């Protein structure tokens, strides 16, 4: 179960996401499904193609399976996807 408490350690692939804020103004408002994740980048499949958004200094709004929306600070999910499970969460 993906909950707002463990979303930082859980799988992001397959979740619908909206880029609320990004340092690149052209990337604000990108919405779609996350299809891939690297250490510092998230690939979003939108209706107009695949977009790559950096995690750093970006705010994502992620829709969880139970339709709860959470806002994630991209800087907190920096790290390889398999390593995020054991990651320490900083305030």
Partner 1 sequence: MGEKFRSGNGKKIARERIDILFHYARLWAGEDRKRSRSCILLARRIAMKQRIRIPKRYRRQFCSNCTIFLVPGSNSRVRIQHGKVIVTCLDCGHTMRYPVVKQHAR
In the complex, the residues that contact partner 1 under the rule CB under 8 A are: 1-2, 6, 9-11, 13-14, 35-37, 81-83, 85-86, 88-89
Nearer to partner 1, 5 or 71 (CB): 5
- From the CB of 86, what's the least distance to partner 1, in Å? 6
Nearer to partner 1, 29 or 65 (CB): 65
Nearest Cα to Cα of residue 12 among 82, 90, 88: 82
Nearer to partner 1, 8 or 20 (CB): 8
Query: Could you say which DSSP state residue 75 is in?
Result: G
- From the CB of 15, what's the least distance to partner 1, in Å? 9
- From the CB of 88, what's the least distance to partner 1, in Å? 7
φ, ψ for residue 44, nearest 5 deg = -115, 130
Assess contact for 56 and 69: CB atoms under 8 A. Answer: no
User: How many Cα atoms occupy the beta-carbon half-sphere of 39 within 13 Å?
Assistant: 0
Question: What is the token pair recorded at 57?
Answer: 């200094």
């Amino acid at each position: 179960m993906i909950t707002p408490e463990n979303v930082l350690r859980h799988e992001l692939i397959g979740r619908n996401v909206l880029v609320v804020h990004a340092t690149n103004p052209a990337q604000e408002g990108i919405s779609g499904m996350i299809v891939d994740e690297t250490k510092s980048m998230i690939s979003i499949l939108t209706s107009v193609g695949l977009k790559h958004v950096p995690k750093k200094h970006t705010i994502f709004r992620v829709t969880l399976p139970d339709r709860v929306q959470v806002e994630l600070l991209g800087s907190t999910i920096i790290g390889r996807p398999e390593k995020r499970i054991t990651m320490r969460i900083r305030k």
